Every structure is written in structure tokens, then in C-alpha cells.
Amino acid sequence: MNLNKDIQQLNNKLDLLRRKLDDAKARDNQGLILQFKRELGVVNKKIASIKGMQSRKNSAQSEQLKALPFNRVLSKVEQADMGKFKKSVRGLVVVHPLTALGKEMGISEVTGYAPQAF
């Protein structure tokens, strides 16, 4: 299950329902207005649920990475040749500060986490 894909599909459905609701309001069709409002509520709840799952997943992954014994900020040279660097350090996980996980962890620079010193 790809959570980002599910959220995107639900956001597309939400946009479609909003447009249909606006059309129903323009035609003053009360039955359709109520139906679309109910459907909007259901889709909003699904989106909130999936975002909650994403948050819990990122939080759990953040805790796992923080539990690893070694971490440090990566230099520009190491970042430039990431493939070679990852091959030299087994189990290295690189976290960028602009990703959801990086924001969750509160890091400000590209940081590497590993089970052994690097």
C-alpha cells in the first residue's frame, strides 16, 4: 500500500467533489448538495486517517534511526559520491532535512545513521 499514492487519489477525488458541489449549489439542488457534503466528509476522514498512518510510520522510523549507535552530519564530498559512500558503510541510512522523516527528526543538515562507526 503506497500511502502517498492513496493520498493523491483521495485529493483528486476531493477536488472533483468540490467542483460538483459548486455546480450543485449553482443549480440550487439540495439533494445533490447534501450528498456531496457527506461524500466530502468521508473523503476528508480517509485523508486524515492516511496522514495519521504516515505520521506514525515516520515516527517509528525516526525512533529506529535514533537508536542506532553512530550518526554524524555528512560532508559535501561524501554527499557528492553517495553511491560509493553507501557501499563503504554497511547499513548506512541517509536522512535529508527536507524529507518528511528529516522534518520529523528535526535535523538541519544531511545526516547519516549506521550501526557501526563511519
Residues 49, 78 within the same domain:
no
Residues 4, 49 within the same domain:
yes
**Which one of 38, 60, 82 terminates a domain?**
60
Which triple of cell numbers denotes residue 29? 439542488
Residues 41, 79 within the same domain:
no
Which triple of cell numbers denotes residue 30? 439540495
Cα(101)–Cα(62) distance, integer angstroms: 7
**Which one of 17, 37, 60 terminates a domain?**
60
- Domain count of the fold of the chain: 2
Residues 43, 80 within the same domain:
no
22 and 10 Cβ atoms separated by less than 8 Å: no
pTM of the model: 0.71
Query: Residue 84 is part of which domain span?
Result: 68-118
* 3 or 7, higher pLDDT: 7
Q: Which helix (H) or strand (E) holds 71?
A: strand 70-73
pLDDT band for 95, please (50, 70, 90 cuts): very high
Cβ-proximal residues to 88 (8 Å cutoff; 6+ apart), any chain = 118
φ/ψ (deg, to 5) at 93: -120, 125
What are the tens digits of pLDDT across the range 34-80?
999 999 999 999 999 999 999 999 999 999 999 989 999 999 998 99
- CATH number, domain of 85, equals 3.30.1370.150
Q: Which helix (H) or strand (E) holds 43?
A: helix 30-67
**pLDDT attached to residue 1:** 58
**Which one of 13, 30, 60 terminates a domain?**
60
